[in-house]
Amino acid sequence: MASTNDPFQFQEFEEAGNLLEANKDAVTISIEDDFKPEKQRKAAGFAPDGEDEDPLAGDDKTELLSGQKKSVPFWTFEYYQKFFDIETHHVKERIIGSMVPWPGKNFIHVYLRRNPDLYGPFWICTTLVFAIAISGNISNFLVHLGKPNYKYTPEFRKVTIAATAIFSYAWFVPLALWGFLLWRNNKVMNLVSYSFMEIVCVYGYSLSIYIPAVFLWILPYEWLRWCSIVLALCLSGTVLVMTFWPAVRDDHPKVIVAIMSAIVVLNVLLAVGCKAYFFSKPEPALQVENSAITAAIKATAST
Amino acid sequence: MAAAEDASRPFAGLSDVSISEDIPVEGDISVPVGSTRRDDEFSTLDEPVKETILRDLRAVGNKFVHVLYPKRSTALLRDWDLWGPLLLCVTLALLLQGGAADSDDQGGPQFAEVFVIVWFGSIIITLNSKLLGGTISFFQSLCVLGYCIMPLTAAMAVCRIVLVGGSGKVSFAVRLAVVTVSFGWSTFASTAFLADSQPPNRKALVVYPVFLFYFVIGWMILTFSPSQ
């Protein structure tokens, strides 16, 4: 209120509500944050009072704690429970995200969001083990169908071998990759670094494209098998390469090429190795040759 | 003054209180020697052995009936026992023996392999459901998963009978139908018992491993081929 008095003299103002009633168009500012002037005071270097410190300290502490998870020792059950903190739709999104590489969408940043899980990798690997064993069994059966001297055997040893191969791929390759990235991080300052669980998660989910591919391999057509292998390799290889590209792109070009080719080559080895070991090729030419040779041997032996 | 005196001597005002005879006072104020256990009430030492065994057998049989007609109930969860799963596992492993007994072939699963698959698989599924936040206890879950193998064991028995008649395409079709039905029954029964103990947005995550488990057992049953 303008007054003819000295402007520096203390004046009593009426309540804000009454003032507003007089002049409804007046612009009003309300300061909601009571801590702001106190924070500014603290920042300016004034020593805060005892009672001012406690709410601010509480604020800082709660801010720090909300960002970081409670650290539990690794021998308790709760430690592993935090890796299973996902819901059904999360798992579905992650599986689809690992099958469809979208340019610009880094699997770890978009889907994991600092919440890697162990559910997906473990059950995808288990499903893949049984899928390979069962499909291999069925395809062998179909290939040898109708041959009189074929005895159908469900080969359960192959489950163990498949399990060893797939689980060691899903655990030791991420371990090696994580160790390598850690070593490079010491030499070259990288902005992006992945934790071990995140790498395991990416590798586990990237195996999910092989499950439908393995079921396609039941049909004994070589061209179909090779087409599906190539397609699956391209998709999962692309996802892996795109995920690890930000972590190595600041590095020496030779190192980048070495890492990327190692990732791709190991993926190829796993796929082709599984196909070669568990799925036998239909070889009619060889069979005819064998029977011809045995007939010839019998003929020469009888004379 | 009087109040101060009264306050200084606690319970002073109660000296003239007496309990009338027509208020029944009950209770046992004897100090128990050692720890009391529920079994002491049954005192199974005095009853005939047949009675003891029959009680357990009746409990196991009761649970079998609950698996046969699965509906949401807590019968399997309330008094869990592992006799039924052990019995079923041994029966299944024995029935899976004697197939393709050539010594150089990996004919069928060995006894130990069936045991390992059933028990190890149940333990892993239980751990999985507990890690996902299930409220069921470890042994309750083992009990449910073990009891729900019963339809598959019955299917195995039926398959062996069918295989006695021959192992052609017709018998394969019959066996496939029987195994599929019993696999669906097992999965349905176990989810009926386990459903309530899971958080609602993770039900599919818990049911899938159970599905995989019974699928693998069903596969072992279906691919059983007898020695010729």
DSSP states along A187-239: HS--S----HHHHHHHHHHHGGGHHHHHHHTTS--HHHHHHHHHHHHHHHHHH
> Residue B170: pLDDT band by 50, 70, 90 thresholds?
confident
Predicted ipTM of the assembly: 0.73
Residue B150 Cα, gap to closest chain A Cα (Å): 22
Highest averaged pLDDT of the listed ranges A123-127, A160-164, B218-222: A123-127
Tell me how far apart the alpha carbons of residues A203 and B93 are, in angstroms, rounded to a whole number: 36
Establish if A80 touches chain B: CB-CB under 8 angstroms.
yes
**Residues of B engaging A, defined by a Cβ cutoff of 8 Å:** 100, 102, 105-109, 113, 128, 130-133, 201-205, 208-209, 212, 215-216, 219-220, 223-225, 228
Asked whether the predicted pLDDT for residue B16 surpasses 90, the reply is no
Contact B205 A153 (CB under 8 A): no
Give how far B224 is from chain A: nearest CA, Å.
Answer: 8
Task: Give the pLDDT confidence score for residue B8 in this predicted structure.
Answer: 58
The per-residue pLDDT for A33 is 45
Give the tokens for residue B11: 């319970």
Residues of A in contact with B209 (CB under 8 A): 123
Confidence bin at A107 (pLDDT 50/70/90): confident
Share of residues in chain A with pLDDT > 70 (%) = 68
Show residues of chain B in contact with A87, CB under 8 Å: 201-202, 205
Residue B201 has its nearest CB partner, among A84, A87, A151, at: A87
Structure tokens at B57: 């057998």
Residue with tokens 């494209």: A209
pLDDT at position B181 over 90: yes
Which of chain B's residues have a Cβ under 8 Å away from the Cβ of A156?
106, 108-109, 113
DSSP tag of A105: -
Compare B27 and A243 and report the one with higher pLDDT. Answer: A243
Task: Measure the CA–CA gap between B13 and B219, rounded to whole angstroms.
Answer: 82
pLDDT at residue number B123: 93
Q: Tell me which residue has tokens 């005892």.
A: A50
The per-residue b/e assignment along A134-166, b for 16 or more CB within 10 angstroms, e otherwise, is: bbbbbbbeebeeeeeeeebbbbbebbebbbebb
d(CA B141, CA B147) in angstroms, rounded, equals: 10
Question: At residue A174, does pLDDT exceed 80?
Answer: yes
Residue of B100, B132, B228 lying closest to A84 (CB–CB): B132
Indicate the DSSP class of residue A82. G
Tokens representing residue B187 in the block: 């999965």
Q: What is the pLDDT of residues B61-88, one digit of tens each?
A: 888 888 888 776 676 677 888 888 999 9
Q: pLDDT tens digits, residue range A111-130?
A: 777 788 889 999 999 999 99
If you count residue pairs, one on A and one on B, with CB atoms under 8 Å apart, how many are there? 63
Whole-angstrom Cα distance, residue B198 to residue B181?
25
Nearest CA in chain A to B110: A156
The residue of chain A nearest to residue B217, with distances taken between CA atoms, is A130
Over residues B105-130, the mean pLDDT reads 83
Q: State which residue of chain B sits closest to A158, comparing Cα positions.
A: B106
pLDDT at A56: 46
Which token pair is A252? 């020496």
* Cα A221 from Cα B200, distance rounded (Å): 43
Q: How far is CA A227 from the centre of its chain?
A: 26
> What's the pLDDT score for residue B55?
87
Q: Specify the pLDDT at position A186.
A: 81
- State the pLDDT confidence band at A30, using cuts at 50, 70 and 90: low
Contact residues on chain B for A218, CB-CB shorter than 8 A = none
pLDDT: which is higher, A266 or A23 = A266
Tokens of A115: 């919440």
Q: What is the 3-state secondary structure (H, E, C) of chain B?
A: CHHHHHHHCCCHHHCCCCCCCCCCCCCCCCCCCCCCCHHHHHCCCCCCHHHHHHHHHHHHHHHHHHHHCCCCCCHHHHCCCCHHHHHHHHHHHHHCCCCCCCCCCCCCCCHHHHHHHHHHHHHHHHHHHHHCCCCCCHHHHHHHHHHCCHHHHHHHHHHHHHHHHCCCHHHHHHHHHHHHHHHHHHHHHHHHHHHHHCCHHHHHHHHHHHHHHHHHHHHHHHCCCCCC
Contact between residue A143 and residue A282 where contact means Cβ atoms under 8 Å apart: yes
Identity of residue A188: V
* Residue type (1 letter), B18: S
Would you list the DSSP string of A120-151?
Answer: HHHHHHHHHHHHHHHHHHHHHHHHTTT-TT--
Compute the nearest-CA separation of B217 from chain A (Å): 11
Give residue A43's pLDDT: 42
Task: With CA atoms as reference, report the closest residue to B159 among B220, B222, B88, B82.
Answer: B222
Residue B183 has pLDDT above 90, yes or no: yes
The rounded mean pLDDT for chain A is 75
Residue B59's pLDDT band (cuts 50, 70, 90): confident
Residue A40 has pLDDT above 50, yes or no: no
- Model pLDDT, residue A90: 86
Query: What pLDDT does A37 receive?
Result: 43
| CA-only gyration radius of chain B, Å | 28
pLDDT digits (tens, 9 = 90+) for A237-273: 888 888 888 877 777 888 888 888 988 899 899 888 8
Question: Residue B134: what are its φ and ψ, rounded to 5°?
Answer: -75, 155
Is the predicted pLDDT of residue B147 greater than 70, yes or no? yes
Residue A46 has pLDDT above 50, yes or no: no
**Contact assessment for residue B143 and residue B85, using Cβ atoms and an 8 Å cutoff:** yes
Nearest to B77 by CA among B157, B207, B193, B166: B193
- How does residue B33 score in pLDDT terms, banded at 50, 70 and 90? low
CA distance A290 to chain B (A): 22
Q: Among the listed ranges A52-61, A76-85, A90-99, A251-260, which one has the minimum average pLDDT value?
A: A52-61
Contact assignment for A87 to B107 by CB distance below 8 Å = no
Mutate to test the interface with B, among A156, A157, A160, A208 (most CBs of B within 10 A): A156
Domain boundaries, chain B: 49-64+75-99+108-223
* Interface contact A123-B208, CB threshold 8 A: yes
Chain A residue with CA closest to B133: the answer is A81
pLDDT-based confidence at residue B32 (cuts at 50, 70, 90): low
Residue A23: pLDDT band with limits 50, 70, 90? low
Which single residue is written with the structure tokens 């029987």? B178
Q: Is the pLDDT of residue B205 over 60?
A: yes
Give Cα separations from B106 to A152, A157, A168, B35, B92 (angstroms). 10, 7, 24, 54, 18
Give the whole-angstrom CA distance, residue B142 versus residue B77.
Answer: 10
Burial class (CB in 10 A: 0-12, 13-18, 19+), A62: exposed
Q: Calculate helix-pair angle for A253-278, A157-187, nearest 10 degrees.
A: 180
Residue A162 one-letter amino acid: A
pTM of the predicted model as reported, rounded to 2 decimal places: 0.72
